[in-house]
Amino acid sequence: MIRTELEQLEHQTLHPLAAFSDTSSGRRYPIEECAFRTAFQRDRDRILHSKAFRRLKHKTQVFLAPSNDHYRTRLTHTLEVSQVARTITRALRLNEDLTEAISLGHDLGHTPMGHAGERVLADIMSGDFHHARQSLRVVDVLENHGGGLNLTREVRDGILLHSKGKGKLRQKTLPMTLEGQVVRISDAVAYINHDIDDAVRAGLLSLEELPREPIAVLGQTHSERIQRMAGDIIATTRAKDYSIIAMSDEVNEATEELKTYMYESIYPHPVIQEEFDKAYKIIKELYEYYQNHIKSVEYCVEEASPERAVCDHLAGMTDRYLLDQYHRIFLPKPWGM
């Protein structure tokens, strides 16, 4: 079978510490193997063809419901993460299929309206909401009308543990595979750099305002910084004999300083915060409405409480669908004779 030949090729070409398709920890539910795709190829395809993946094109990254076509969305962010992660993975001779599957699936559970959506759902659910856990819930439960995508454990683990947030790039809870660690660090490389790019495009930031020391280490331009970060991750990981996917101390410190600058100066910028507050209000009011009209909730899987069903419903919305629903429910229609 072609799949068997591909699995043998992995053992011949990949690093000994790579994740191999034929030694996967398996799926939640056994299925017949594909004749011509490895397990991780199959996971990648299942994610790519999912409805949740298609919705990413209309979900906000930082700037809410942007009218300018050049701002990042969750979909373009996902593709940039995949590109960075695959570059690092190939250089380290790890499993690109696994890396790509995790990359494409890591933000499937992200809310509409960027982090405003995540904040309000976390508040409503008393902290029991995070986009990484919701991404796992999407692939485990919500897709296929409650059947999920039945992905391998390695992909599911990478999706769940991809997020850093404001925390340090180095932390104790790491994905079980080196490929999952690659996606985790590539997510930060991608969003730090493309959020700078979008902030400059929006007129909220000039390149001269960026902190000088980390820019001196990482580079003046978008491409220079990504090149520096990715190259450093490859070199440092090899120097550490693949014990961890990591940056050197110098590049890690510069990256952390640049990330801190974004969290302190750009993400809470008054222009962004004003729209954030509006989005928070819209999502909270829709949550309360759907609580009282539970039969209109689409994502109502069998095991879900009413609160979780409404949370799933709202988290799955795109920005424009969310605004359409708010307009339909709360705003009066023009009177016509």
CATH of the domain at 316: 1.10.3210.10
Q: What is the pLDDT of residue 173?
A: 84
With bands split at pLDDT 50, 70 and 90, how would you rate the model's confidence at 249? very high
Residue pLDDT, tens place only, 20-30 = 999 999 999 99
Contact 241, 91 (CB under 8 A): no
Q: How far apart are the first and last CA of the chain?
A: 68
With bands split at pLDDT 50, 70 and 90, how would you rate the model's confidence at 304? confident
Give every CB contact of residue 27 below 8 A, 6+ residues apart in sequence: 39, 150, 151, 152, 153
* Count of structural domains within the chain: 1
- Determine the structural domain holding residue 122 and report its residue range: 2-330
Top mean-pLDDT range of 75-79, 268-272, 294-298? 75-79
Contact 40, 154 (CB under 8 A): yes
Q: What is the pLDDT of residue 335?
A: 74
With bands split at pLDDT 50, 70 and 90, how would you rate the model's confidence at 45? very high
pLDDT tops 90 at residue 32 = yes
With bands split at pLDDT 50, 70 and 90, how would you rate the model's confidence at 63? confident
Q: What is the pLDDT of residue 167?
A: 57
Q: What is the pLDDT of residue 298?
A: 74
104, part of any domain: yes
335, part of any domain: no
Of 79, 255, 111, which is closest to residue 183 (Cα–Cα)?
79
pLDDT tops 60 at residue 216 = yes
Q: How far apart are CA 330 and CA 195, in angstroms?
A: 33
Q: What is the pLDDT of residue 337?
A: 61
Q: At 144, list the tokens.
A: 């296929």
336, part of any domain: no
Q: What is the pLDDT of residue 112?
A: 95
326, part of any domain: yes
Q: How far apart are CA 24 and CA 19, in angstroms?
A: 7
pLDDT tops 60 at residue 336 = yes
With bands split at pLDDT 50, 70 and 90, how would you rate the model's confidence at 299? low
73, part of any domain: yes
337, part of any domain: no
Of 174, 80, 187, which is closest to residue 131 (Cα–Cα)?
187
322, part of any domain: yes
Q: What is the pLDDT of residue 315?
A: 96
Mean model confidence pLDDT for the chain: 93
Kindly provide the b/e burial profile for residues 177-207, where b requires at least 16 CB atoms within 10 angstroms of the residue's own CB. Answer: bbbbbbbbbbbbbbbbbbbbbbbbebebbee
Q: At 5, list the tokens.
A: 């030949």
Q: Does 64 or 255 have the greater pLDDT score?
A: 255
With bands split at pLDDT 50, 70 and 90, how would you rate the model's confidence at 303? confident
Residue pLDDT, tens place only, 109-146 = 999 998 889 999 999 999 999 999 999 999 999 999 88
199, part of any domain: yes
For residue 328, with 0-12 CB atoms within 10 Å meaning exposed, 13-18 middle and 19 or more buried, which class applies?
exposed
